[in-house]
Structure 1
Amino acid sequence: MTDRPPRLEVWGDPIEHSRSPQLHVAAYRVLDLDWSYGCRRVTAVGFATELASLDDTFRGLSVTYPLKEAAFAASVTRDARAELTGAVNTLLLTGAGPSGFNTDVGGIVSALADCEIAELRHVRIVGAGATATSALVAVAELGADQIEVAARRPEAVAALSEIGERLGLSVHGVPLTRPEPVPVDLTIAALPGGAVVPEADADALASGGGPLFDVVYGQGMTSLQAAWLRAGRDIYTGEAMLLHQAVLQVRIFVGGDPAVPLRDESAVVGAMRASLVGD
């Protein structure tokens, strides 16, 4: 074992926009922990090699696009939300092998509560990747029972449909190109920040789309946000999700359990929230 302070990092591609370092540094400062938290660009192809190269100073990793499925595969143990979604965004490296967690689900639930969105029935999810699976489980926990998934590739909806069956939900796919404007209670955009939806298709999604909760943050206005703005509908971006999933990550890195609150957690969350202001 080394005497050097524990190290943490966030991995993804792209990763330069990530605010995770400032969130985590703010938390560990309040907790009086001399831990470092860095940022590393890692591709899906290079993930296994990078993970194998880490020494025992590394306590854990935050994992973002496009690495959540690779992190799931690398996990020796996984929490229930990770098992259900097939996606891991948090790796704890202190045991015999990586322990995988999905804090995105809890982050979305808490973020929607911040937006005063607590009861849902009919939800549209745009995108069908790892974050979409977390969004599906999150809205299921909030009572939604009809989920529409708008995706470019119909076959990509199959994994979400399987999760829906396990949860007793109705999940069906619709084309991302000119979808029918069926009214929904909420639209969750689970696309990567660089994804572009043609204006006509985005406007069709905004029609009857309810408020938009877009997981993207820090990368400017997305094409979907622009469509919701044109439609005069409410828009919520991903900073709140980022904050709340990070709080759960800090719980994991500190105590090993996302369900166990931190010491003086209100002060920790306050410092984390303040770290995002004006950035």
Structure 2
Amino acid sequence: MTLRAAVLGHPIGHSKSPVLHRAAYSQLGAGLDYEAIDVTIDALPAFMAGVRADGRWRGLSVTMPLKGAMAAEVDEVRGVARQLGVINTVALETADATGNARARLIGYNTDVAGIVNALRYAGVAPKPSAAILGGGGTAAAAVAALKELGAPSATIFVRDTGRATEARAAAAAVGLELQVLPLAGAAAALAAADVVVSTLPPRAADPVAEELTRLQGVESGVLLDVAYDPWPSRIAAAWTAAGGKVVPGLEMLLYQAVEQVRLFTGLGGPVPAEVIDVMCDAVGVPRRVF
């Protein structure tokens, strides 16, 4: 029986997750097929009912706009996802290794680890001044990651200050002081931060990029842009031109996927180095050693 895993989202055609996961499962000889499936919020309950009924499923990667909605579809939430209320990973656990017993759906958030590892490699200073672009589910993970990195506070810039519910809840849960400000006119404040995490969809940060190109004499810090298609994004290009360091979103995607591979395959320990190597090669990310 070929086992199944997938990345869910809407739209989903741009996702690099299948490339990463397939490389890992091929190296492991896991016999696990991984695909990208377009699922809207409205269609999610019916899709998850199908997952429960099909004993071949072992895991789901969850991307926009499903990260908040998935919390209502799982049986248990573990780790930092319990604090955030935002799920990017669902692993299926069964009492019967053949998959015949009813599976329990367990929700996790591996985005936090992905952001932390990507920024640590970039050399983010201890207790950094921090900012976030966007206020959705990935922004909630960014809040938790910045707390783990030692940031005393963060400023979040959103198009609508009334729609940062997930990020606000995450900040309250992890104990990070958070200020919410409008996205318009944010460029100067962003350029002054030690670290910025952009969680906006592709091209949504283009107006900020335009503002950055008009700044003079600015030396920016580290920008992690989680949107990786197209690449380089306009904000990444503007950030580099302003003298800052850019961490591609593919690095975050890699590090969060490594933990998903461990969960989906039931590995008892860390993912082997040779598996991480082939995942890096699959998407052109250098192998990072901490």
Query: Normalising by structure 1, what TM-score?
Result: 0.89
Letter in 1 for 2:10: D
Matches within 5 A, 1:121-270: 121-179=128-186, 181-182=188-189, 183-198=192-207, 199-203=209-213, 209-255=220-266, 260-262=269-271, 265-270=272-277
Q: Tell me how far apart the structure 2 counterparts of residues 205 and 9 of structure 1 sit (CA, whole Å).
A: 42
Across the two proteins, how many residue pairs are aligned to each other? Answer: 271
Q: 1:85 to 1:147 in 2, by over 3 A?
A: same
Aligned sequence identity (%):
35
Instruction: Name the counterpart of 2:113.
Output: 106
Q: 1:208 to 1:156 in 2, by over 3 A?
A: farther
Letter in 1 for 2:111: D
Is the CA contact 2:125–2:194 (under 8 Å) kept in the aligned structure 1? no
Q: 1:70 to 1:194 in 2, by over 3 A?
A: farther
Instruction: Name the counterpart of 1:56.
Output: 55
Instruction: Name the counterpart of 1:83.
Output: 82
1:47 aligns with 2:44: yes
Letter in 1 for 2:138: T
Q: Tell me how far apart the structure 2 counterparts of residues 86 and 78 of structure 1 sit (CA, whole Å).
A: 8
Aligned-pair RMSD on alpha carbons?
2.2
Letter in 1 for 2:85: G
The CA deviation string for residues 204-239 of structure 1, in whole angstroms up to 9 with x for no partner, is 899565221101113233332233134232211111
Instruction: Name the counterpart of 2:11.
Output: 14
The CA deviation string for residues 92-119 of structure 1, in whole angstroms up to 9 with x for no partner, is 1234431101000011111112222252
Deviation at 1:152, TM superposition (A): 1.0
Q: Tell me how far apart the structure 2 counterparts of residues 219 and 87 of structure 1 sit (CA, whole Å).
A: 25
Bigger shift: 198-207 or 158-167?
198-207
- Aligned-partner SS, 2:68: helix
1:33 aligns with 2:36: no
Q: 1:148 to 1:270 in 2, by over 3 A?
A: same
Bigger shift: 195-204 or 181-190?
195-204
Q: Tell me how far apart the structure 1 counterparts of residues 111 and 17 of structure 2 sit (CA, whole Å).
A: 13
- Unpaired stretches in structure 2, ≥5 consecutive residues: 95-102, 286-290
Is the CA contact 1:179–1:204 (under 8 Å) kept in the aligned structure 2? no
- Unpaired stretches in structure 1, ≥5 consecutive residues: none
Q: 1:47 to 1:209 in 2, by over 3 A?
A: farther
Letter in 2 for 1:274: D
Deviation at 1:29, TM superposition (A): 1.7
Is the CA contact 1:21–1:38 (under 8 Å) kept in the aligned structure 2? yes
Bigger shift: 125-134 or 6-15?
6-15
Query: Normalising by structure 2, what TM-score?
Result: 0.86
Q: 1:115 to 1:39 in 2, by over 3 A?
A: same
What is the aligned counterpart of 1:277 among 271, 284, 290? 284
The CA deviation string for residues 125-173 of structure 1, in whole angstroms up to 9 with x for no partner, is 0000100000110010010011000011112234423332333321001
